[in-house]
Amino acid sequence: MLLAVLSGFILAACAPWLTRLLGDRAGWVLALLPAALFVYFLSWIPLTAGGAAEVVHYSWIPGLDINLSFLVDGLSLLFALLISGIGTFIIIYSGGYLHGHEYLPRFYGIMFAFMAAMLGVVLSNNIISLFVFWELTSITSYLLIGFNHEDKQARWCALQGLFVTVAGGLALLAGLIMLAGAGGSFELSELLNSGDVLRDYPLYTGMLILILFGTFTKSAQVPFHFWLPNAMAAPTPVSAYLHSATMVKAGIYLMARLNPGLGGTDQWLYTLGLFGAVTMFTGSFMALRSTDVKAMLAYSTIMALGTLTMLIGIGTEAAIIAALAFLLAHALYKAALFMLAGGLDHETGTKNILNMGGLRRLMPVSFITACVAALSLAGLPPLFGFIAKELMFEATLHAPAIATVTTVLAVISAIMIMAVAALFALRPYTGKLKETPKQPHEAPPSMLAGPVVLAALSLVFGVAGFLPVQGILHSAVAAVHGSPLEFKLYLWHGVNTPLLLSLLAVVTGLLVFAGWDRVLAVYRRLTFIDRFGPERGYERVMAALVWVAEWQTRVLQNGYMRNYLITILLTAVALAGGTFFIYTGNTVPFGTVDITFYEAVIAALIIAGAIVVSLMQSRLGAVATVGMVGFGVALIYVLFSAPDLAITQIMVETLTVILLVLVLYRLPRFLNLSSTAARIRDALVALLFGGMMTVLILAVLDVEVVAPISDQLVAWSYDEGHGRNIVNVILVDFRALDTLGEIFVVGLAAIGVYAMIRLRAEDKRS
């Protein structure tokens, strides 16, 4: 299992090299890996029958409960089969679509990494490794969407997709950690069995919002749907893969996966049900507005994602069966349709449906395949899409609390999607042949294999509904529902409400199709969609981000040394001083002062010296006074049992004074550069900080949080360190590495000084 998930990454590393080696046949050969994975996952089907689940465990970071554990049940297997199965055809298709493309080797590399990441998402049992794979899909899809990196628009779209999904990913991480905290485990298989604990968790609503923010952005739900149509900037095989079986389905997968653990509450029902229904409507509404064949399909994907979210939200038995049937149907027809759209684009050189027509004689196979797949999209018998749509109506009609809204929106969406399906299947192929930028001819076999097989599967599953049920849907439904359900899928349900609703949708949809040119004219007038859509919101946020960055750079990085200092100091005063006053009030313990006369004189001398320095106008006087302060400090060390410090201080202080006297005389005299106001401001900042330090010292004098470690150092000094001067033993023995570092610092400073003096000497010579 580990090899199955990671093999994609391994192949990703050698794919570029293999592609160069294999030349034109690369697509067919590389497709062997996903095909082999597909067969491997098929072999798991008997093990998951009846809703059984297998956990395959590999330790990764056991200390943090992070493991590469994989959960194989009906749901993950359904997704894994779609990813590897459709992936096979996408790889073959890419070989034809990007034939001779300069970056084809790189493309295969990213594609396999993406596929492996997707497999990781749907198979992970550990939620942290799930998150890692989740983010890997965001990053690899960024590379795929921005594949035409010389195109500015493509880069922009890729970045938008990345920002939206990664922002959601961050929220998801927080949500997943809360989930682990609530359920007491990082393993999905255990979390899903403790649904009651999770639903009673006090922060359930917050956790749900965080997780759903992640899944909604990933699965392009309103109002985050705008990135998905833009992701069409990717080459068509990528779009086909992203839209049908991967990327956007990751969010759906996670919601379906968490349904037994988090579902069944009012929040779940209303959020998923309503957001899903609105997304479904928005997707179909925008699909009908598009004239770009890829945009049409992209918006119809949003419709499908909305439908799935809505059905998972409704959560009744019928809704779950409908959701999984719809998922399978959508993956099959959407991959086929996208690959056909890519074929049209590739062979005619245009993506605009208004510029195509009469292609059925030139591209007969494409035409027939498009018709079959579009029938499934429209939800007409005898295709599998019909079964899925009937089930969806059945589920919305009996949805708790929100049945009216969901049913009305579902019917309207079905009407519009019916029209879109008819447009896609008929418009480019029928009527008169139109002038296109390229001379059209039938697509090569590599680009037809996928659509033909997938469309045929739509048909087979429709006629023989027991096949997918027996195969995988039964165990997938069991996984989402939490317990097995008995059901059968038939084309003919008898005359009932769903059938009548379907009939209504088909007839109205065909009318809309007939009058599409007029509908389009109305749409054209609705320009507010472009002006006020959520995408403008995204642009505003990005612009605001840049503005804030510029503003804070201007304010903070202004190039004035003293502004940096004042900012740092006042922040320190506010944080440390503020905290101090909040927690201790205004009382400062001023202990009894036990002081001798000469100590008081030394203290007074230091203070006086420091003040005089800051007012002194003469350089030599300032240097001498600083020296006096330094020697005063040395005296303090002498009086209070620190002879080593005193010696060092006196030596250093002497050297400092000599150095200053030598150098300062080459520097200009002190000038009064600051205004009085600036002086007063600086004095205030200085007093504030100095005062805070005094107060803090007074406050901590009597506090001992932990016992000092130095008693142990004293005890070891002679026995272990063989020295009688304990300070010296600490320096050269217990903390020898510190001292070594110190020697390096001083050595470096010396080299620097020497270099600068040499430099000056050379300047003078030249």
How near is the Cβ of 639 to other proteins at its closest, in Å? 7
**From the CB of residue 147, how many other CB atoms can be counted at a distance below 10 Å?**
22
Reference 1, options 154, 143, 101, 125; nearest CA is 125
How near is the Cβ of 744 to other proteins at its closest, in Å? 10
Q: Give the burial string for 442-460 (b: 16+ CB within 10 Å, else e).
A: bbbebbbbbbbbbbebbbb
CA–CA gap between residue 129 and residue 60 (Å, rounded) = 9
- Which of left, alpha, beta for 72 (phi over 0: left; psi -120 to 50: alpha)? beta
Q: Of these, 467, 511, 519, 727, which contacts other proteins (CB under 8 A)?
A: 727
The answer to whether 620 contacts other proteins (rule: CB under 8 A) is no
Q: Which stretch binds other proteins (CB under 8 A): 1-9, 207-215, 249-257, 556-564?
A: 556-564
How near is the Cβ of 552 to other proteins at its closest, in Å? 18
Evaluate the CA torsion angle 754, 755, 760, 766 in order and state its sign: positive
| Helices of type H across 152-292 | 152-183, 188-191, 195-200, 204-218, 227-230, 236-244, 248-262, 266-289
Footprint of other proteins on 567-596 (CB under 8 A) = 569, 590-591, 593-595
CB closer to other proteins out of 522 and 709? 709
Site size with other proteins, rule: CB under 8 A: 98
How near is the Cβ of 698 to other proteins at its closest, in Å? 5
CA–CA gap between residue 555 and residue 51 (Å, rounded) = 61
CB closer to other proteins out of 546 and 706? 706
Reference 449, options 88, 147, 14; nearest CA is 88
Angle, helices 384-397/403-426, rounded to nearest 10 degrees? 160
CB closer to other proteins out of 379 and 577? 577
How near is the Cβ of 641 to other proteins at its closest, in Å? 4
Residue 112 identity (one-letter amino acid): F
437 contacts 349 by C-beta, under 8 angstroms? yes
What residues contact 535, with CB distance under 8 A and at least 6 apart?
226
Q: Of these, 433, 542, 575, 750, which contacts other proteins (CB under 8 A)?
A: 750
Largest CA distance in the chain: 113
How near is the Cβ of 660 to other proteins at its closest, in Å? 7
CB closer to other proteins out of 170 and 610? 610
Q: Which helix (H) or strand (E) segment is 446 a member of?
A: helix 445-463
DSSP 8-state class, residue 486: -
The answer to whether 621 contacts other proteins (rule: CB under 8 A) is no
CB closer to other proteins out of 124 and 717? 717
How near is the Cβ of 717 to other proteins at its closest, in Å? 7
How near is the Cβ of 665 to other proteins at its closest, in Å? 10
408 contacts 487 by C-beta, under 8 angstroms? no
Rounded to the nearest angstrom, the gap between the alpha carbon of residue 520 and the centroid of all alpha carbons in its chain is: 36
Q: Helix, strand or coil for residue 124?
A: strand
391 contacts 322 by C-beta, under 8 angstroms? yes
How near is the Cβ of 577 to other proteins at its closest, in Å? 12
How near is the Cβ of 335 to other proteins at its closest, in Å? 56
CA–CA gap between residue 301 and residue 311 (Å, rounded) = 15
Report the 3 state secondary structure along 627-696: HHHHHHHHHHHHHCCCHHHHHHHHHHHHHHHHHHHHHHCCCCCCCCCCCHHHHHHHHHHHHHHHHHHHHH
Could you give phi then psi for residue 352, rounded to 5 degrees?
-85, 120
Q: Of these, 206, 575, 760, 761, which contacts other proteins (CB under 8 A)?
A: 760
CB closer to other proteins out of 354 and 568? 568
The answer to whether 666 contacts other proteins (rule: CB under 8 A) is yes
Q: Which stretch binds other proteins (CB under 8 A): 19-27, 65-73, 449-457, 691-699?
A: 691-699
Q: Of these, 150, 757, 762, 766, which contacts other proteins (CB under 8 A)?
A: 757
Footprint of other proteins on 149-208 (CB under 8 A) = none
Q: Show the tokens assigned to 329.
A: 């149907």
Q: Which stretch binds other proteins (CB under 8 A): 260-268, 507-515, 529-537, 751-759?
A: 751-759
Q: Of these, 21, 575, 715, 736, which contacts other proteins (CB under 8 A)?
A: 715
The answer to whether 562 contacts other proteins (rule: CB under 8 A) is yes
How near is the Cβ of 656 to other proteins at its closest, in Å? 6
- Which of left, alpha, beta for 493 (phi over 0: left; psi -120 to 50: alpha)? alpha
Angle, helices 266-289/293-314, rounded to nearest 10 degrees? 160
The answer to whether 738 contacts other proteins (rule: CB under 8 A) is yes
Task: Return the residue matching tokens 């960055």.
Answer: 549
CB closer to other proteins out of 544 and 759? 759
CB closer to other proteins out of 24 and 742? 742
How near is the Cβ of 766 to other proteins at its closest, in Å? 14
Q: Of these, 349, 710, 736, 761, which contacts other proteins (CB under 8 A)?
A: 710
CB closer to other proteins out of 522 and 673? 673
CA dihedral 720, 723, 729, 732 (to 10 degrees): -90
CB closer to other proteins out of 64 and 667? 667
The answer to whether 437 contacts other proteins (rule: CB under 8 A) is no
The answer to whether 686 contacts other proteins (rule: CB under 8 A) is yes
CA–CA gap between residue 644 and residue 725 (Å, rounded) = 9
**From the CB of residue 402, how many other CB atoms can be counted at a distance below 10 Å?**
18
Q: Of these, 614, 618, 620, 736, which contacts other proteins (CB under 8 A)?
A: 614
Q: Of these, 600, 601, 620, 761, which contacts other proteins (CB under 8 A)?
A: 600
18 contacts 36 by C-beta, under 8 angstroms? no
Q: Which stretch binds other proteins (CB under 8 A): 73-81, 282-290, 416-424, 696-704?
A: 696-704
The answer to whether 680 contacts other proteins (rule: CB under 8 A) is no
Q: Show the tokens assigned to 374.
A: 């579009």
254 contacts 312 by C-beta, under 8 angstroms? no
CA–CA gap between residue 84 and residue 30 (Å, rounded) = 12
The answer to whether 618 contacts other proteins (rule: CB under 8 A) is no
How near is the Cβ of 546 to other proteins at its closest, in Å? 24
The answer to whether 661 contacts other proteins (rule: CB under 8 A) is no
**From the CB of residue 760, how many other CB atoms can be counted at a distance below 10 Å?**
10
The answer to whether 434 contacts other proteins (rule: CB under 8 A) is no
The answer to whether 718 contacts other proteins (rule: CB under 8 A) is yes
Q: Which stretch binds other proteins (CB under 8 A): 94-102, 322-330, 403-411, 692-700?
A: 692-700
How near is the Cβ of 54 to other proteins at its closest, in Å? 58
Q: Show the tokens assigned to 58.
A: 């590999």
Q: Which stretch binds other proteins (CB under 8 A): 118-126, 244-252, 450-458, 561-569?
A: 561-569
The answer to whether 709 contacts other proteins (rule: CB under 8 A) is yes
Site string for other proteins, 629-658 (x = CB under 8 A): xx--x--xx-xxxxxxx--xx--x--xx--
What residues contact 690, with CB distance under 8 A and at least 6 apart?
none
How near is the Cβ of 561 to other proteins at its closest, in Å? 5
The answer to whether 756 contacts other proteins (rule: CB under 8 A) is yes
Q: Of these, 673, 705, 706, 737, which contacts other proteins (CB under 8 A)?
A: 673
Q: Of these, 561, 582, 677, 707, which contacts other proteins (CB under 8 A)?
A: 561
Q: Show the tokens assigned to 719.
A: 């026995």
The answer to whether 565 contacts other proteins (rule: CB under 8 A) is yes
Q: Of these, 354, 401, 544, 749, which contacts other proteins (CB under 8 A)?
A: 749
CB closer to other proteins out of 543 and 714? 714
CA–CA gap between residue 465 and residue 488 (Å, rounded) = 7
Q: Of these, 83, 622, 628, 635, which contacts other proteins (CB under 8 A)?
A: 622
335 contacts 86 by C-beta, under 8 angstroms? yes
